[in-house]
Structure 1
């Protein structure tokens, strides 16, 4: 009988333990594209599989984490090979809980074995003196509180779509290579566990934006369209940027902040898949309104109050 605490990461990525770093990267990118939730909307297990693939690469690409994972799994396989583990082995190896029940029992027996018998007898004539400490216990030394660290990394839409390697400098000056997953999006945060001072985590936030304000999210493209109140109320035609150049968008009347308009097929393309561009309406006030404009807004407000 053989069991493991974690899934077989080598099998998840479809590589052998003898593969080199380049083969590991290629396998990770292939499996990540295959199981990305955007491309498997009808598969309820795709998201969980995608997370496991990212977890597998994070363990196998880090020599220290990989060694710890292999040692743990080998130890578990040894104790499960021909017998069932003892209770202490189960807590120690499988659950990671250290036990020392025998030593604890010995310490308890020792504490009471040398006490004289008369220590437990009632003796009304005994004089007990109250212990009053002359000095207070020393204060514990101050504890340094460390915080998680975060870096912002800019990548292109193509790098977000296919995955890329970026170098991150940690607080101690160490350079680490971080492999971004395929179909990444603007605002995604990748965690480097235990890399910051004090065993805190270092987060890498991805910035995937174009110069004209397009934000990438997987195969989708997002754009915030700011409109003056009268344009949103009456409707208007406005030119907006896309990855393939500007297009004219007809904004329907009575559009409120938060309304989403879809431009089909204006997102990123991957094989036979094509994403959409989502335009979010944001209503803003013009800067430096004139007195006549302010008067019109005030009159509009009065008319609105009269109708209620």
Structure 2
């Protein structure tokens, strides 16, 4: 990560040849003076306190201080010990501090074609060739970057597929083909469809589909799941129900006698249809028990149940 480096000696109020003890003493005094808890009425106290901590973290570390001092003495250059910390001064005089988890110059060379920090900054901040014209800092970038675009689809559109229009990150509008029966997480590639940055193509665009949930149907693989509600007599005696599948087709569902609550009935070929396969529809039977019966209804049901031997005395 890069950030402009401030004058740490000035922040701590010490000279450039200050000893470690003088730096520590100055830090403790300023830290007490500017601690946010002691300055609730000063809006800049927290920012000032962070500056003091930042300055001390560099000047109290012998290696970081050495790099920092070298940076201040050289008008143009980069300094570091190879441990992921670098200081750099641009031609305009801005100090840049890099902290990386690996070898930054290897990363620049491998990913972007810049041989060093000096190469990178000379192209961005100096960047003039023999002809006197400014060089494009992106001209040596070697690896086009792929782009991922997430496209949210209504459940019905994902089932049926077809064409849909999307907008790429660079503002370009394209029409893509949605495969029939596409599911969430499915990815397609638009070859050489990536945006262009500074004249450099940025690779492929990968479209990742996200399918919105449906209020009645749940998808698992290419199978669909839904529910139907019946009463206890229908469960005992059997019944039929007319349903609509996810494609709007009418289905007559036969519920056999003795169907149990939670039992799933399978309807073949009424799940998700892809180019090569048809899933099934599973209907889960749910039981609804009437909460209120009239006295006459209770009498009739009781008599029928007693005659059928369904009531225990």
> Given the two structures, how large is their TM-score scaled by the length of structure 2?
0.34
Greater per-residue helix proportion: 1
Greater per-residue strand proportion: 2
> Given the two structures, how large is their TM-score scaled by the length of structure 1?
0.34
